[in-house]
């Protein structure tokens, strides 16, 4: 019997607030991108929301390569209300939240997708990577964010509002993980703190 993302999360996670925080950040980035950079669909938003909740469930098996374990678990346990192809897309978004980038030659499931599906995985995986990087410390340091697209220079600026006005969190991991977003949207990403 297939489960919802929330049921899977309850069964296989340690109760951390991290998946929900990453989901919140990913949705803010998605909505900002949708408003300023590229139009994305409601279906893609659902893919990202489920992947954000499930990106770390692979820790249930092992911390090493947990992203690959998360992918396998999404495929093994399924997700209610999604077709097999959609589950494969969500599983790939989970897989690429860390580690290597999508590779048609090396990654079997990703290789099966058509060009549009591969673009979806890169774009949503890129959003998830950044959201995960912003909550690296698992302590909810970002209160809100907004996205601005500078079309003249092809730069996507992500403005961050820290939860504590007197403290600027370390965003090194988000900066390191912006590569897939840049590939998927063909833009450069710059992070800035709101003053």
Encode pLDDT of 53-78 as tens digits: 999 999 999 889 999 999 999 999 98
pLDDT of residue 135: 94
Please report which confidence band the pLDDT of residue 86 belongs to, taking 50, 70 and 90 as the band edges.
very high
pLDDT of residue 165: 83
For residue 158, what is the domain's CATH number? 1.10.3210.10
Among the listed residues 60, 141, 49, the one whose alpha carbon sits nearest the alpha carbon of residue 89 = 49
Statement: residue 149 has pLDDT above 90: yes
pLDDT of residue 57: 95
Domain encompassing residue 88 = 5-193
| Number of other residues whose CB lies within 10 A of the CB of residue 166 | 5
Structural contact between residues 136 and 23, judged by C-beta atoms closer than 8 angstroms: no
Number of domains the chain contains: 1
Please report which confidence band the pLDDT of residue 99 belongs to, taking 50, 70 and 90 as the band edges.
very high
**What DSSP string runs through 41-83?**
-HHHHHHHHHHHHHTTGGGGT-STTHHHHHHHHHHHH-BTT--
Statement: residue 138 has pLDDT above 80: no
pLDDT of residue 168: 87
* Tokens coding 119: 């673009």
Please report which confidence band the pLDDT of residue 140 belongs to, taking 50, 70 and 90 as the band edges.
confident
Q: Considering the chain, what percentage of its residues have pLDDT values greater than 70?
A: 100
């Amino acid at each position: 019997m297939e489960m919802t993302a929330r049921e899977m999360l309850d069964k296989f996670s340690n109760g951390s607030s991290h998946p929900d925080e990453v989901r919140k950040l990913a949705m803010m980035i998605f909505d900002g991108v949708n408003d300023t950079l590229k139009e994305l669909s409601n279906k893609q938003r659902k893919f990202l929301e489920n992947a954000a909740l499930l990106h770390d469930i692979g820790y249930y098996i092992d911390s090493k390569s947990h992203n690959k374990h998360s992918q396998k678990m999404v495929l093994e346990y399924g997700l209610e209300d999604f077709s097999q192809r959609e589950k494969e897309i969500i599983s790939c978004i989970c897989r690429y939240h860390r580690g290597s980038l999508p590779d048609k030659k090396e990654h079997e499931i990703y290789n099966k997708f058509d060009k549009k599906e591969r673009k979806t995985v890169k774009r949503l995986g890129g959003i998830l990577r950044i959201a995960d990087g912003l909550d690296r410390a698992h302590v909810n340091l970002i209160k809100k964010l907004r996205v601005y697209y500078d079309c003249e220079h092809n730069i996507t600026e992500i403005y961050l509002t820290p939860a504590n006005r007197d403290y600027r969190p370390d965003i090194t991991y988000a900066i390191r993980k912006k590569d897939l977003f840049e590939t998927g949207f063909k833009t450069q990403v710059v992070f800035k703190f709101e003053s």
